[in-house]
Amino acid sequence: MNIDTVSTRPFPGQRPGTSGLRKKVSVFQEPHYLENFVQALFDILPDRTGQTLVVGGDGRFHNRAAVQTILRMAAANGFGKVLVGRSGLLSTPAVSAVIRKHACFGGIILSASHNPGGPEGDFGIKYNIANGGPAPERITEAIYARSGVLSEYHIAADTADIDLETLGTQRIGDMQVEVIDPVADYAALMQQLFDFDAMRAWFAKGGRMRFDAMSAVSGPYARAILEGMLGAPAGTVVNGEPLEDFGGHHPDPNPAHATELIATMSGPQAPDFGAASDGDADRNMILGRDFVVTPSDSLAILAANATRVPGYRDGLAGIARSMPTSCAADAVAAALGIPCHETPTGWKFFGNLLDAGRATLCGEESYGTGSNHVREKDGLWAVLFWLNLLAVTGQSVDTLVRAHWARFGRHYYSRHDWEGIATERADALMAALRAKLPDLPGRDCGAGLRIDQADDFAYTDPVDGSVSTRQGVRLIFDGGSRVVFRLSGTGTEGATLRVYLERFEPDASRHDLPAQTALAELIRIADEIAAIRSHSGMATPTVIT
């Protein structure tokens, strides 16, 4: 094999955010841009020689070209073998499953997840370590530091493209490239965790479901498992063909972007169960007939019912949630007598807790739920967990949720996103808010809401002692209501302010309010304290979930 050593100059800003490096496709198409980042990654992995890597992506525009480049660079940088999904496809949870099952060194995921795709859309790259999970900050910061001083990269020269459509082993020089079925290992893992007989019986008895893959990578997985293994009628999975531009849609499973599914799930003729997943299939949205389950509630309900499902029959060691996720899971943990850990936003913070056996289920308010079966959030896993519960209880989605509220109280919850704020304006908003923090505790905000605690969340990892500061401004009120403010770390244009709103209601006779009504006072207080409208120059949030 001939190796080209190509001289290059650092690109500014190759710093991974909440979940990898995300930029416009046009940025990734600039000569050397992807190569620089990949070389920076390989450079900080000195023990890579002869190791096995997993590579795959969500199929968005530029996926195939990027896979070929990474394969050539892996060969030139001494890797022994790469497992790559057929057509260059692997969902994020499937990469995690494959790394773990085959004891690989790590994996590269090509995805910008819930961000739009296509030539005008976004692209992304993310590195996962040997436990199958996202690289922790110590590694992502090392990649960033290396990217700033890079002067050359190494790539195999004069080699034909790998045929990504044919399963089996090919070579680039001494390195083996094995094209694998992207679904097989993942589907086998799901079979170990869930009661496939019960779910098959649920469909056989006429249970009706709609799974919207949003033209992204969950389609092949959902078809194989739901329609193939579980006997769901053909057509249960819609938008099941991964498209390079996701059909022009925003592959983000929330009520604002999955409007087609929301419409299907309303009215007396609607299916019993609805679900959707995002670009890289790690998110999930759960719906009943005329009923939307919030992700925070979903985590709590799965935890409370975990022993009904084979993979969790022996109970949970603990639960972990990201800080802005509602405290519904904490109530369940307290009842079960297990710990509930509170981490910064982003799945990478769950890895140590899962590895150390301190948490079994994890979740984020952003439609992310998962467990110790992999080290990523897992969209289809959450959907199968719910389906398993529907099958073994014989109850409907809304009955399960209402029973949960009646027992534990309801945590009304909503997130307001203010997208596309000029970066300086968003930074000014957060700076002004942080400056106010010392004066806020004790303030009476009216409507019986008194601020008990106001701070900028910091996290010390209980396993390795690493500290992450400035993870979001929290206002905690007497009685547990909360407002949290943070800036998104996954966007590619301007800044997005996320405002998270939560209010606990123990009284079952008041569990039927629209969430925005129940949260109206907190919405008012959030704007008063953070001066969102004046800083942003916007009148309303762009997305409410």
Interface ranges with ligand VG1 (CB under 6 A): 18-19, 113-114, 278, 282-283, 322, 345-347, 364, 366, 368, 488-490, 498
**Whether the Cβ atoms of residue 249 and residue 277 lie closer than 8 Å to each other:** no
Q: What is the DSSP string of 375-408?
A: SS--HHHHHHHHHHHHHHH---HHHHHHHHHHHH
Shorter beta-carbon distance to Co ion: residue 212 or 282: 282
Backbone angles phi, psi at 415, to 5 degrees: -120, 130
In contact, 405 and 511? CB cutoff 8 Å = yes
User: Which residue, judged by CB position, is nearest to ligand VG1 in the bound state?
Assistant: 113
- By CB under 5 A, residue 278 contacts Co ion: yes
277 binds, among ligand VG1, Co ion, none (CB under 5 to 8 A by kind): none
239 binds, among ligand VG1, Co ion, none (CB under 5 to 8 A by kind): none
Among 394, 405, 350, residue whose Cα is nearest residue 372: 350
3-state secondary structure of 306: helix
Which of 128/490 has CB closer to ligand VG1?
A: 490
Minimum CB distance to Co ion, residue 20 (Å): 10
**CB 11, min distance to ligand VG1, A:** 21
CB of 467 to ligand VG1, least distance (A): 19
Longest dimension (CA), the chain: 73
Minimal distance, residue 52 CB to ligand VG1, in Å: 24
Q: Candidates 195, 280, 376, 378: give the one binding Co ion (CB under 5 A).
A: 280
Nearest to 489 by CA among 346, 366, 342: 346
Q: Where are the alpha helices (DSSP H) in 272-322?
A: 295-304
In the complex, least distance from residue 253 CB atom to ligand VG1, rounded to whole angstroms = 9
Residue at 324: amino acid letter: P
Q: Which stretch binds Co ion (CB under 5 A): 275-283, 350-358, 404-412, 449-457?
A: 275-283
Binding segment (CB under 5 A) for Co ion, from list 105-113, 212-220, 399-407, 521-529:
105-113
Using Cβ positions, the residue closest to Co ion within the complex turns out to be 113
Using CB distances below 5 to 8 A depending on partner kind, what does residue 19 bind out of Co ion, ligand VG1, none?
ligand VG1
Does residue 113 carry a catalytic annotation? yes
Q: Does 282 bind Co ion (CB under 5 A)?
A: yes
Q: Does 58 bind Co ion (CB under 5 A)?
A: no
Query: Which does residue 18 bind out of ligand VG1, Co ion, none, counting CB within 5 to 8 angstroms by kind?
Result: ligand VG1
Residue 92 Cβ vs Co ion, minimum distance, rounded to whole Å: 6
d(CA 124, CA 387): 31
For 64, the token pair is 């195939």
Q: 278 vs 297, which CB is nearer to Co ion?
A: 278
End-to-end CA distance of the chain: 52
CB 150 within 8 A of CB 344: no
Active site residue: 111, 113, 322, 488, which one? 113
Q: Is 46 exposed, middle or buried (0-12, 13-18, 19+ CB in 10 A)?
A: exposed
C-alpha 351/C-alpha 464 separation (Å) is 11
Query: Which one, 199 or 487, has the nearer CB to ligand VG1?
Result: 487
Size of the site for Co ion (CB under 5 A): 5
Phi, psi of 84 (to 5 degrees): -125, 135
Beta bridge partners of 54: 83, 107
Q: Which residues bind Co ion (CB under 5 A)?
A: 113, 278, 280, 282-283
**Which residues have a catalytic role annotated?**
113
